[in-house]
Amino acid sequence: MGRIIRSQRKGSGGIFKSHFTNKKGKIKFRVYDKSEKCGYIKGIVKKIIHDPGRGCPVAKIQFSNPYNNKKSTYNYLAVEGMFTGQNIFCGKKAQLNLGNVLPLKSLPEGCICCNLEQKPGDGGKLGKTSGNYITVINHISMFKTRIRLPSGIKKIISSDSRASIGLVAGGNRIDKPMLKAGNSFYKYKAKRNCWPIVRGVAMNPVDHPHGGGNHQHIGHPSTVKKDAPPGKKSWFNWG
């Protein structure tokens, strides 16, 4: 048997871990407290910044603490049309305006939203990439809502999960071609070690099960079950 192939090496992390040195922090909603569950709280967009390795811009929103005189700043996803100085209202009784954060039970059917919580209070997990959005299909009951994800999959989640109104900014990012390898180099330098990708058939037999031969060919059927572990997909008869 030859070396451990790339897909197997990625499992333990190592040099394939995310590059987070210059990140601007986590993108998540403020704590789901009583002010949001029963009413609303106002925040101000202080500035919109770029987060290295992230396709969409990030909005820094400042809230006044309802329990003391301190102010706290959170990183939210910038929605299309958001601007500096805009007032953002978060809570059950907030108006249905661009950038506001409301629970699903307060959104009408057909509403477009983004940065949706998978479970109430987790800060936002779904629909976070640039240009994407989530559509509210219908309310099944007081506690469950059916949504459509950007992939087209329909999902039923809690009606208490919060979401931002609108679609994520930066939607035309992929319309501009990369044009040269140097642009891809700096793009993935900010993300993680996942570029360039060398094909297995272009390697030597010691490096990959697909390597070697007088012509670049796999040498056996490449069909394999989708839940196969790393290494099994290319090593057809191994293990």
- Predicted local distance difference test score (pLDDT) of residue 226: 87
What's the N-to-C CA distance of the chain in angstroms?
A: 11
For the chain (length 239 residues), average pLDDT per consecutive 10?
Answer: 86 93 94 93 97 96 90 96 97 96 96 97 96 97 96 97 97 94 96 96 94 93 87 69
Residue pair 170/159 in contact (Cβ under 8 Å)? The answer is no
Check residue 237 and give its pLDDT: 57
Cα gap 48→178, rounded to integer Å: 25
Query: Hey, what are 57's tokens?
Result: 């811009």
Residue 235: predicted pLDDT:
73
| Burial environment of residue 116 by CB neighbours within 10 A (0 to 12, 13 to 18, 19 or more) | buried
Phi, psi of 77, rounded to the nearest 5 degrees: -70, 135
User: What are the C-alpha distances in Å from 182 to residues 187, 189, 197?
Assistant: 9, 10, 15
User: Which residue's structure tokens are 């949504």?
Assistant: 147
Instruction: Return the closest-CA partner of residue 76 out of 100, 53, 92.
Output: 100
Q: What is the pLDDT of residue 224?
A: 87
What's the pLDDT score for residue 221? 87
Q: Measured between alpha carbons, how far is 86 from 114 in angstroms, rounded to an integer? A: 18
**CB 16, CB 8: distance < 8 Å:** no
Burial (CB < 10 A; 0-12, 13-18, 19+), residue 169, is: buried
DSSP letter, residue 201:
G
What is the predicted pLDDT for the residue at 236?
61
Sole residue written with tokens 């990369």: 178
The pLDDT value given to residue 1: 60
Residues 45, 59: contact at Cβ < 8 Å? yes
Q: Provide DSSP, 101-144.
A: EEEGGGSPTT-EEESB-SSTTS---BS-STT--EEEEEE-SSSE
Burial classification of residue 238, based on how many CB atoms lie within 10 Å of its CB (0-12 exposed, 13-18 middle, 19 or more buried): exposed
What is the total residue count of the chain? 239
Q: Which of 159, 131, 135, 160 is nearest to 148 (CA)?
A: 135
